[in-house]
Structure 1
Amino acid sequence: MNLTGGIVLYAVLWFLTMFVLLPIGLVSQEEAGEIVPGTHAGAPHKTNFLKKSIWATVISAVLWAGCAYLILGGVFTREDVMGWDQFIR
């Protein structure tokens, strides 16, 4: 894995983790009892985006380290991955 591949892998893991974390603990404006005029009642009251982005950074860093170990440590090689399509056929 080169530098570009590592950065792309981290970005993909970060966004995947962020999209998983976004709906966790979400409270709608209707549930909070404070509906802003002109918005839908199901719109989020507070998103806690900073807290969730910090968690996404930490979790994706751990996932990236595991993936980097598997790739750079030689647990499986490119030739192994190229043969995985034989399981489908």
Structure 2
Amino acid sequence: MSLVSALAIYFIIWWMVLFAILPIGVVTQEEAGEVTPGTESSAPGRPQLLKKALLTTLVAGVLFAGIYWLRVHSGLTLDDLPFKPPSAR
């Protein structure tokens, strides 16, 4: 796996994990009772983006390490996965 391929795969994993982690622990302004004028009441009060970015980096790193190990050290390829054979017409 080349460095560019590894970075591209990590980038994709990072964004997928970010979108999975973003809604965790969100408290809306309405739930907190402090709606800022000019914003939606459903907007997050404190989104804690730095904390979520660090957690995303950690989880994505673990997932990438697992994928890297499967790809490089175990010798598994896509040819090893069972696919449904194409149906005959």
Pick the TM interval, shorter chain: 0.7 to 0.9
> What runs of 5+ residues in structure 2 fail to find an aligned partner?
none
Task: Kindly state the Cα deviation for residue 87 of structure 1 after the two structures are TM-superposed.
Answer: 1.1
User: Considering only aligned residues, what root-mean-square deviation do their CA atoms show, in Å?
Assistant: 1.5
Q: How does 1:59-70 map to 2 (within 5 A)?
A: 59-70=59-70
Larger helix percent:
1
Aligned to 2:84: 87
| TM-score when normalising by structure 1 | 0.87
The Cα shift of 1:88 comes to 5.7
After superposing on structure 2, the runs of 4+ consecutive aligned residues of structure 1 that deviate more than 4 Å are none
Residues 72 and 47 (structure 1 numbering): CA distance in 2 closer, same or farther, change over 3 Å? same
**1:23-74 residue CA offsets vs partner (Å, 9 max, x unmatched):** 0000000000000111111011010000010000011000000000011014
Shift of 1:15: 0.7
TM-score by length of 2: 0.87
Partner of 2:30: 30
Where do 5+ consecutive residues of structure 1 fail to align?
A: none
Q: Matches of 2:85 and 2:45 in 1, distance apart?
A: 46
Q: Identity over aligned residues, as a percent? A: 37
Question: 1:25-64 residue pairs with structure 2 within 5 A?
Answer: 25-64=25-64
What is the alpha-carbon distance in structure 2 between the residues aligned to residue 88 and residue 36 of structure 1?
57
Which residue matches 2:71? 71
* Local SS of the residue matching 2:45: strand
